[in-house]
Amino acid sequence: MFDVIVIGGNLAGTSAAINASSRGLNVALVEKNEQPFSPAHCGEAIHKDILEYFDLLHNHEYIKNPIMEVIINVGIKKYNYKFKTPLQMIIDRNYIENELLQRAEKQGVKLILGNRMKDFNRPNDIILADNTVIQGKIIIDSSGIACQVGRLIGLANKLRPEDIGVGIQSRIQGNFNVDTMKLWFHKPYGPMGYAWLFPLNDKLANVGIGIMGGQKFDMKELLDSYIKYEIKGDYKILSTYRSCVPITAPLNRVYKENVMITGDAARLANSLTAGGMRYALISGSLAGIIASKYIKKEINSLELYQLNLNKTIRSLTKIYNIKRKMEKEKNFIKIYSIIFSIACNLNNIAPNICQNYLFKSLRKDWRIIDSLKVN
């Protein structure tokens, strides 16, 4: 029997596996794909301090493009944010997930790739697609929006269509301003959502659309129109993917008995931006550390995982309530305009305020993880 079985080899799952295995636990990681998605199923923008904290800045094989300007359109209004130092970096997530899988394997994690979880017999049995049964004392659900284990144990309900972000993105070869990230909120390109252009370098960019589910739009048509709007010269579409992400409130309970739920499976994502990489890395790391404390009998339940995520859950729930208000009142343009107008003015008057607020928030996450590592 394994000490820990992790379902999902994404950022949350690999972080959980690495942190549990590095503390001496016997860990298995189950991933349905033989290797991470290529290209990655997200825009690939992340705060540089997150990369630094998780030791992901040293590898020069993957792209880490710093962004010095963000241009945001809300209808006819445009907001420009210029930064003295880069806040966001555009990365090639596929390389990062591969690197984390390699780290996990070096730590002794048993990687079960190209196989998926078919069923879960409580409390310990994971049944795989090939009918192999593996057992774990602790199960960590990092299965993404499907939340496979969470649904089976009654922690995750079926999502409303409006609480699912429907996305389409193309990786495009062309000529791009390497320093500038572009976003277009709401109509005409991202109705009840947004469109984006994130440059990986001056010749390569991710261009995509993410909108609230339940709407009747041709996603490919929306994306084509946005590409034509943003890219004036010649370009070539190298690949296109479609995916779904949670834009709902986080789960109120992220553990039950011997199960912890991480990342998108726990709905730990910003429902206005669909951003979830930060929360995946944090929740996965917490789950791995707390699993080791439980196995080593330093704690007698997994409640510590819940306690350390409660503040994040409350914060993301408040954001979701704003999203629901916008959805009900059909005032996306108004609310987005207010938010970005205030942020833009603050950035122009006192650019350090916004940056320091974000840094302070991130450092709180780091302190929680660091304190658990020491204790």
Give residue-wise pLDDT tens across range 320-354: 998 888 887 677 777 777 777 767 766 676 666 66
Low-confidence ranges of the chain (pLDDT < 50): none
- The rounded distance, in Å, linking the Cα atoms of 99 and 59 is 9
Say if CB 4 and CB 141 are below 8 A apart. no
Structure tokens that stand for 62 in this block? 């993957």
pLDDT value for 157 = 87
Q: What is the DSSP string of 247-272?
A: -SPPPS--EETTEEE-GGGGT-S-TT
pLDDT value for 347 = 67
pLDDT value for 60 = 66
pLDDT value for 85 = 79
| Residue 94 C-alpha from the chain's centroid | 13
- The rounded distance, in Å, linking the Cα atoms of 288 and 22 is 9
DSSP state at residue 122 = T
- The rounded distance, in Å, linking the Cα atoms of 262 and 287 is 7
Say if CB 142 and CB 8 are below 8 A apart. yes
**Closest C-alpha among 278, 263, 281, 274 to residue 358:** 278
Domains present along the chain, CATH in parentheses: 2-41+92-158+251-374 (3.50.50.60)
- The rounded distance, in Å, linking the Cα atoms of 283 and 137 is 19
- Listed in sequence order, the DSSP H helices in the chain are 11-21, 48-53, 93-106, 148-152, 219-230, 277-295, 303-329, 332-349, 351-374
